[in-house]
Structure 1
Amino acid sequence: MNISSIVIRCTPEHYDEIKKWCEESGVCEYHFGDKPTGKIIVTIEAEDVNGEIAKLMEIQRVDHVISAEMMMTYQEDLDAAMKELDEAEEVPELLQRCTEEEIDPATVVYHGDLKKKL
């Protein structure tokens, strides 16, 4: 089970609407907010990181949410996660091939955007 805190930013005029959504959505649990600054603190729970990210992205897609960012996270099964990291490749295969000059890094196309909201 993963539990994370999320800070939501909205304009003060949309604060009540966003707060109500947080309380009724079932996606998160509302804990605290400050209407003048448009900040709302919620927590989300999920079975794994993918579930957390899905919930975070759902919050980010709510109308009038300016931003929703994960601030802290707790993972019950930290030992398993640490073992997975220890067993992972130190350098992903694609990057290793780039450093060995099998692939020209200029030809690698990155399709992601961490700041882009889906």
Structure 2
Amino acid sequence: MNISSIVVQVLPKYMDGVLEILKNAQFCDYHYHDSETGKIIVTIEGESVDDEIRNLKIIQGIEHVIAADMMMSYSEDELDREIKKLEAQNAVPEMLNDDTIEAKDIVYHGDLKKKNI
């Protein structure tokens, strides 16, 4: 399952008409609007990214919609893959558990706030 938030931009004078379409739509869920700025927040969902893109294009095709863009997206399958990767990794590098290595011999090659140590 994929869920994404969409910010829809319309001219304030067209807000009522576009809002009515989005509130009654089967392809999205209405959450919030600001009549002064012409912004509307909806979410779309689908079994795949293709499903979401199809719904986004429907919103973009509504008369008087200036722009409709994904702001935040959640993909259940992608999250599951990343969790499995994390679970498969050893949280502590082997060298830190090796009693034969002196702490002074461990060299850090990372970056802490853009400062190499």
User: Which TM-score tier does this pair reach, normalised by the shorter chain?
Assistant: 0.5 to 0.7
TM-score norm. by structure 1 comes to 0.66
Number of residue pairs the alignment of both structures matches: 83
| 1:18-69 deviation per Cα after TM superposition (whole angstroms, max 9, x unaligned) | 1110111111111000001000000001000000000001100000000000
Q: Which runs of 5+ in 2 are unaligned?
A: 85-117
Cα drift, residue 82 of structure 1: 9.7
Alignment of 1:46-85 (within 5 A): 46-77=46-77, 78-80=79-81
Structure number with greater Rg is 2
User: Is 1:2 aligned with 2:9?
Assistant: no
Cα separation, partners in 2 of 1:48 and 1:34, compared to 1, 3 Å: same
C-alpha separation between the residues in 1 aligned to 2:7 and 2:45? 15
Structure 2 counterpart of 1:25: 25
Identity of aligned residues (%): 51
Root mean square deviation of aligned Cα: 1.7
1:24 maps to amino acid: N
2:52 maps to amino acid: E
Q: Which ranges of 4 or more aligned residues in structure 1 deviate by more than 6 Å? A: none
TM-score norm. by structure 2 comes to 0.67
C-alpha separation between the residues in 2 aligned to 1:30 and 1:10? 15
Q: Which runs of 5+ in 1 are unaligned?
A: 84-118
